[in-house]
Amino acid sequence: MRVDHRRRFAFRLALELGFLDVDLMLSMITPEQFQEWLAFGLYLEPFGSDVEWVKTGTIASMIYAANGGKGEGSSPSDYIPNQKRKRGSVSSFHKMVAAKYGKDSDDGNSRNSSS
């Protein structure tokens, strides 16, 4: 599954605004408004869990350094889970879902079509 940065941001924005249905949220705003939100959320004042992890990693690495720590643990990225995640995690996720729920989700198209 390939997700472009605009779609990923739409999910972050929906989460921040409390929308369950991303497409419904997008239907309620104009493309120009979405572009403004995109600029705001990605460049002007970033928000979301990624930003919070960077802040947490920065504080943790400062505490580590203040206590004489050197090497691993001295960089904020050492405390950010997504920084250590390997490529291919989406396919790993699909395999986990298939194992747990017995669904063939390797192609990412295992959505329930009865809606």
Q: Where are the domains of the chain?
A: 1-47, 48-107
Torsion of CA 54, 57, 58, 60, to 10 degrees: 160
Residue 26 is predicted with a pLDDT of: 95
Q: For residue 10, count other CB atoms closer than 10 A to its CB.
A: 21
Residue 77 is predicted with a pLDDT of: 81
Distance between CA atoms of 69 and 62, rounded to whole angstroms?
Answer: 9
Residue 80 is predicted with a pLDDT of: 75
- pLDDT for 12-66, tens place per residue? 899 888 999 999 999 999 999 999 998 888 777 777 667 777 888 888 888 988 8
Distance between CA atoms of 46 and 40, rounded to whole angstroms?
Answer: 7
Residue 79 has pLDDT above 70, yes or no: yes
Q: What is the pTM of this model?
A: 0.47
Tokens in use for 62?
């400062």
